[in-house]
Amino acid sequence: MNALKENWKVALVDALVLVVVVFLFVFRHPVLAIVTLVLGIAGTVLYIIGSKRLAQQEESKAQLEAAKQTVSMFIISKKKMKLKDAGLPSAALESVGKLARNQKVPVLKVKVGSQIMTLLCEPEIFDSVPEKKEVKATVAGLYVTSVKGLHGNKGVKKVEEKKGFWKRTLEKAQEKAGAKQIK
């Protein structure tokens, strides 16, 4: 009963799919009924997997928040490279799945005190991280979650989002027409 309270939306969608399948069988459309049934089952499975992944993600964010600490570091270089080529400790690589090792991730090579380390970085802040500068960063284990400028820097610069083809074309057309830009 507890599982039904948690997944009542899924149960409702499954019931609707079942009603549609019965309706299609009654009106002699068995192929359409089977396709509808398969799509309903696939949607249910994807919803359940997605909700479990979301719960895992929230749990890992809570762990990162609990373990974070502020560290002053000098950023030597930053790259996007495969996890297995990043030079991380073997214990960190073993905890990651085999398929995830081949994905490109943002990696920072930093100097903390007298020690040179390789750290992973959040993709959202990777573009705004300055190279060859000393920064104050919030770190949780091997993961950099935020960066602030240090030593007279006017803060870490924010990178503008790249405009897509259609947005650039629209702006050019509006500029030629003398119209105001739509935001």
Amino acid at 26: V
Q: What is the pLDDT of residue 15?
A: 82
How many Å is the Cα radius of gyration of the chain? Answer: 25
Q: What is the pLDDT of residue 80?
A: 93
pLDDT at 173 over 60: yes
Residue 176 DSSP SS3 = helix
Query: Are the beta carbons of 34 and 24 closer than 8 angstroms?
Result: no
- The runs of H, that is alpha helices, within 68-150 are 90-94, 123-126
For the stretch 111-168, pLDDT in tens is 998 999 999 999 888 888 888 999 999 999 888 988 987 665 555 566 677 888 998 9
Q: What is the pTM of this model?
A: 0.60
For the stretch 28-82, pLDDT in tens is 788 888 888 888 888 888 888 988 999 999 998 898 889 899 999 999 999 999 8
